[in-house]
Amino acid sequence: MRSMFHTRRHNVPSLNVASMPDLIFTVLFFFMIVTHMRNDEVQVRLQVPEGNEVRKLANKSSVVNIYIGRQVNKETGRQGEDWLVQLNGDLVKPEELPARIEQIRATMSPELAERLTVSLRADRHTPMGIIQDVKQALQQSYALRINYSATEIQ
């Protein structure tokens, strides 16, 4: 006698993966759009100071980066003796900063130019005289929002 309950085998339908490449490319495109690529090649050696109350900058489109450190010889990897100032990608003297800041401000929209913030990344051993020269040059160009970059203490 056969069993009264007849069990049927159910086949699970296969997963349709035809739209998977579209989804992957959409996500890839999204990350390519929202990722901010760093355009500055740092030409000076920095050992950034550490701090307790570290916060990230909110609007990076109105930020100008200034790096202060010693120049690195690309061939030997050794650092030089002179302290240098790098504005975005160019090595400049502190007295050239007001004109350069005005050039950068001229390329920005009025809203971004109003919110211009200077992110100052200086080596922890930089003499205060150089930092003071940079701050006075920024004051001449009315770039009064200065952010001092540091790494958070672990």
pLDDT in tens, 118-142: 888 888 888 888 889 999 998 998 8
| Domain assignment of residue 130, yes or no | yes
| Domain assignment of residue 1, yes or no | no
CATH of the domain at 78: 3.30.420.270
| Domain assignment of residue 28, yes or no | no
| Domain assignment of residue 6, yes or no | no
Domain count, the chain: 1
Residue from 68, 97, 65, 98 nearest 82 by CA? 68
| Domain assignment of residue 19, yes or no | no
| Domain assignment of residue 17, yes or no | no
Contact at 8 Å (CB) between 152 and 50? yes
Residue from 122, 108, 124 nearest 143 by CA? 108
Which pLDDT value is given to residue 8?
73
- The torsion angles phi and psi of 117, rounded to 5 degrees, stand at -125, 135
For residue 65, what are the domain limits?
A: 44-152
Res 68 pLDDT > 80:
yes
Q: How confident is the model at residue 77 (pLDDT cuts 50, 70, 90)?
A: low
| Domain assignment of residue 60, yes or no | yes
| Domain assignment of residue 37, yes or no | no
Percent of the residues in the chain that have a pLDDT greater than 90, as a whole number: 6
